[in-house]
Structure 1
């Protein structure tokens, strides 16, 4: 290759115009790194209410000192932590929001494009579009889980008096922003850096270290509140009528709690139900302990990973139906509901959303292992029968052993929890 050919090559962009780190190309019409590209796309789709806590110039690159290798010396305060300034900088430098493909829209070539391309190139484009959409779903669920954990580990302490009932909570604004307002809870037993997405066999002996920890939070209330806020974040949920939102939430909240606590526990290598402050709830000597840990052992047995956990939880929110009907439902696209009294329109909405998330899970399993992907997919879906049996046992125990002896005043006080535990599904 001669010198003229070398000089004719286009030089690859070196510096991200937003954060100053190493760029890897043009994204949404500007020179940017992958981090800023993903950040802009996520912020545009979520449209959160952002506000700078400093001087609204956190991303003024003139005030940032760089090292010799063109990377930021300090990534902390407030650089790269202020989402408001970062998003505004993306807009100011000209990032094009119209270039963002909405994840919920189908990506289909136009008739004119179809006439100009060969069958092979059309298949490549379709596969690439599916990959982009599936990765986008995983990114959104990962980001949502991060916000959920921040809220769960925050210093905000909900009280029973703060919540009048499930219906009012479903109509209220999202409360995840309270995590930023209150900040993380200081001096908790379990620190954030102990979390891992690679599951190992828990050490039973560690259970004793969690006993007799006095928690400032009422975890039964806190976890129910978080599960409710989680369900409210889904776009499809707001397409349902208010009555169907209430019915679906009562059905799904309990299993979302069980999944959340179980996955958090095994990430910290416990086989009991552990909370972020290190408290064990319930403890081994409590009657309903065996019910609470039912969902932990299947997750350990199948060595569940973060993406699989996120997709399973999303599928369950979409009302999977009876566990033994799940595979039939997925393969035939039939509408089978385990939730009584859902309207036909809502069942169709849930069926479409469930099919979309199930396809993402199947694609993820195939990408991990083409040979064992289908078997892994079936193994993960097989866990659903445990979730259904667990929530039925928990609700039966509450209705038969706890509710009859509750004083009326206490029942009214914990009405939000009573609404969840007194729900009866078609099992």
Structure 2
């Protein structure tokens, strides 16, 4: 048995980097950038007005009380014009006429006279105006050639806005990891519409893994349920290999019982077993292997919370590594109740996260941590992680926390607490 850090190091060392592909911006949401994006243009691409008002040639300062002839009007989208030095009526987003360098807000002027069509003819300033006032300069957001997004970035809607503004229509992204799911156990019933048969249980691990892997950006090739026989598990592995899976995630049949055939079956595939049993709770019998001619295999115990821990703290880091993403940031919180973890094991505890009146992040660990309990998992929104030698952690002790599901950040009400309180 090895500790968690050793297990992750071995697992990530085997994680292959995925190939890349071209993706239209419209289809890029939640994809992972393979290459950094360098800004192809300056943003803004021209000097323009930050508000409705009048553009002036301030040079240094134009004093309050000064009067100005209004030469013309410039709206957003109008072509560039040259000014003779007189003021121009200007709208938000409109390009500054050549030779003008400041904008006075319309409400900080007095209209002295108008043309017959209602357009302004002459104005008086109510405030001093300095050069650059209310002007958005070319490249003040992003300069041409400057870094815009780093490789390994997961494309969010905010990134879509930036890339669209830069005129980026296509991106080089990492191919989605292809994952096959195999759930073992003759007791499992996959048809949720059918009445539950005697001595059977509905298969909850398969739908959970499929949903979680999809949220991580994976392409789920299949989600099979097979009985407790090595031959059927081997057949499912062969189908996953034939489908081009990068990773197989299986549940059950991985411990030490008479029906726990996964380790021996993997050896028949000439698999290189990285580890089998990790010093964690729940989910100690985690197994990871690399098939000689095929994908990585992550074999998880079948108990629901062992599956959740395996997905969150083993599979998710592998998918990040495959996609070229950096490791997740580390978050901390204050414990709302003391914990007495068993020495020598890393504990993953379901918890509710929240902020106190001072804005400090707290973790309220569920008292029901038995690995078969799904109810507390559905009520939680985070994990508390207690290292192998943490010892007793008192009330108010600082602990590491993680989001409940891979691919998500901490809950909205806790998201800005990114470091130790």
Q: TM-score range by the shorter chain?
A: under 0.3
TM-score norm. by structure 2 comes to 0.22
Which has more helix, going by share of residues? 1
**TM-score, L = length of structure 1:** 0.22
